[in-house]
Amino acid sequence: MKGPFLAALVLFAITAAIVVYKVYALDYHMAMIDEEPGHYVRLVMTMTSKSPDSPINVHVTLPLEDERQTIRKEIYREEGFVHDIEWEDGNRIANFRGENLKGEQSITYSFRAQTSSMKFNLPEATIIPATSPSNLKRWLETEEYIESDDPAILAKSEELMKGDRRIKHAVTVFYDFVSSGVAYKPYKGKTSAVTALKLREASCNGKNRLLVALCRSQGIPARVAGGLVLSKKKREEAITKKTTHSWTEIYINGQWVPFCPTNGYFAEIPAHYLELYKGDRAFIIRTKNIDFDYRWKVSERRSSEEEVLYTNATNYFNILRLWATLEQASISLNLLVIILTIPIGATVVAFARNVIGLVPFGTFMPALIAVAFRDTGLAWGVILFTITILSCGLFWPLLEKAGILHVPRMAIILTLEVMIIVGIALVAINFGYKRAAAISLFPLAVLTLTTERFVISIIEEGWSPTLQRFAVSLLVATAAYLVMRWTFLENLIIAYPELLLSVIGVNLLLGSWTGLRLTEFIRFRSLYLRGPNEMSGQET
């Protein structure tokens, strides 16, 4: 006992020394794997040139970074094209160029976005300034579809203001008029501000052009802004979009304040608005002589993996420096987490065996089952595991009676497991449980090995002991899963992989355990609580 105990203490001391050195000497800190929810956004553009000898040009406004939205991990897939990025009127534009392209071509642009909501308080008494800074004159001029100098626009703005020159009053009456006085109609094509005023109906673009024109007619800088409306609700599946949305930004007291008269946001922008462009422009401008189509795909996803990957990126002790290289071989962060937490799951199994006295199937089978549960989630994993094992266990004796040899028998069982998995997945998805789609990824090897142990146990020990061990296996696997999926522990082991040395130390102590196991104490508690004289039959 003394040797393993001292070895464990040495390992604990080494671990502590490394962690302390990294934290205090190297200013190393733990990065979080999943901090805030975000979205994975992908734009897919497909095109076919009508004249193969003519070049193809596609200009796309890219999402902007500011205090309310963060864009990370931008990826371009553009076989046959080259691109550069430029800035124009506050917009970030990717210019894709391709020459001598034949057949259908595609460009895919993807990124991770984290967005938040913002609300603004408007000053009560501030008067509309007589002049604006030179850098804002661009947003006071009349445009082809924003006719701020049109007599009808000017007359309407004067009518709404009623001589009150306070900027908050002007913006409020303009917003109320466009929001409730101009009906929303999903028109195709462009609707100008004057047309929206005359018809009293317009799409989101027309409504915002009218709001911008009313503001500009009174010397208030304003512009159209636009982007993508992300999902407001948590979704497990990706959604496909073909349309963008526009809103208005008005310059008030040194800042651009957002307004959306279409969806009822006054001096605020919600978290599910992703801004792509500023100004009255199309977010895609392309060569005319091509057949062109595009679509957005948006899925909700934890978007701060980069915080893990690049925190302490230059630190020699950061294991993620190695992962950044492995990423090129398609080794995901999730796989790295699994690899590093498997020893912890095995330690849970060792604790269950040596200290509690629970004996599951196999040595570390529950730890492998716990890894398998990562794909399906705990609930679906338990359901799948139970149905599959019991079904195959009932089918095994029939194959044995038929005289089928062991290896072909296992191949039949494996086939049966696949059929059961697919069947459960289809039924579950049909009833709206889309998480069950991950059941198809359940590690079949774990199921097959467990099924074999299950059947052998039935043959050697009977149904009752086998079902008890099966229940114990599920219990230990559940405990291992909960420990391995503990977010804090995942973050900790990623930041400080040297903690695995302490895992070895813990197992040295568990391997030296000589006391009664908990189940043995419960089983023999009547004898254990009796005095030594009683146990020997002597009278006191």
Q: Which residue has the tokens 């596609």?
A: 58
**Contact yes or no for 448/417 (Cβ under 8 A):** yes
Total number of domains in the chain: 4
Any domain includes 277: no
What pLDDT shows up at residue 525? 65
Q: Could you tell me the pTM of the whole model? A: 0.55
If asked whether residues 398 and 468 sit together in one domain, one would say yes
110 shares a domain with 54: yes
**What is d(CA 431, CA 67) in angstroms, rounded to the nearest whole number?**
41
Are 436 and 483 in a shared domain? yes
Residues 161 and 228 in one domain: yes
Distance from C-alpha of 265 to C-alpha of 259, rounded to nearest angstrom: 6
Cβ proximity of 366 and 501 under 8 Å: no
SS3 of 383-414: the string is: HHHHHHHHHHHHHHHHHHHCCCCHHHHHHHHH
Cα dihedral across residues 73, 98, 60, 231: positive or negative: negative
pLDDT of residue 78: 82
The radius of gyration computed from the CA coordinates of the chain, to the nearest angstrom, equals 33
362: number of Cβ within 10 Å: 16
Q: Are residues 200 and 75 in the same domain?
A: no
The encoded tokens of residue 89 equal 């009127």
CB atoms within 10 A of CB 333: 17
Q: Which amino acid is at 398?
A: L
Residue 64 contacts by C-beta under 8 Å, 6 or more apart in sequence? 71, 90, 91, 92, 275, 276, 278
pLDDT for 440 equals: 47
Q: How far apart are CA 518 and CA 260, in angstroms?
A: 64
pLDDT in tens, the chain (540 residues): 578 888 989 999 999 998 888 777 766 655 544 445 678 888 999 988 877 778 889 999 999 888 899 888 788 888 788 889 999 888 999 999 988 777 788 899 988 888 989 999 999 889 999 888 888 999 999 999 999 999 999 999 999 999 999 999 999 999 999 999 999 988 877 899 999 999 999 999 999 999 999 999 999 999 999 999 987 655 545 678 778 899 999 999 999 999 999 999 999 999 999 999 999 988 899 888 888 899 998 887 644 444 444 444 445 555 555 555 555 555 566 777 888 889 999 999 999 888 888 888 877 888 888 887 877 778 877 887 888 888 877 887 788 788 888 778 778 877 887 787 778 777 777 776 655 555 545 566 677 677 777 877 877 888 888 888 889 988 999 999 999 988 778 878 877 888 899 999 999 988 887 777 777 777 766 665 665 555 444 443
> Are residue 245 and residue 375 in the same domain, yes or no?
no
Which run of H or of E encompasses 336?
Answer: helix 333-351
Q: What is the DSSP letter of 63?
A: P
| Same domain flag for 187 and 165 | yes
Residue 226 carries which side chain, given as an amino acid letter? G
In our burial notation (b when 16+ CB lie closer than 10 A, e otherwise), range 339-359 reads ebbbbbbbbbbbbbbbbbbbe
Residue 253 placed within a domain: yes
**What's the DSSP call for residue 354?**
I
Helix axis angle for 333-351 and 463-484, nearest 10°, is: 130
Question: Is 328 domain-assigned?
Answer: no
- Whose tokens are 């072909």? That residue is 408
* DSSP symbol at 284: E
Instruction: Decide if 327 is inside a domain.
Output: no
* Residue 164 and residue 260 share a domain: yes
pLDDT at 415: 84
* 257 closest CA partner among 126, 380, 62, 83: 126
Residues 405 and 375 placed together within one structural domain of the fold:
yes
Assigned token pair, 437 = 């789609």
Which range of residues forms the domain containing residue 315? 2-33+306-321
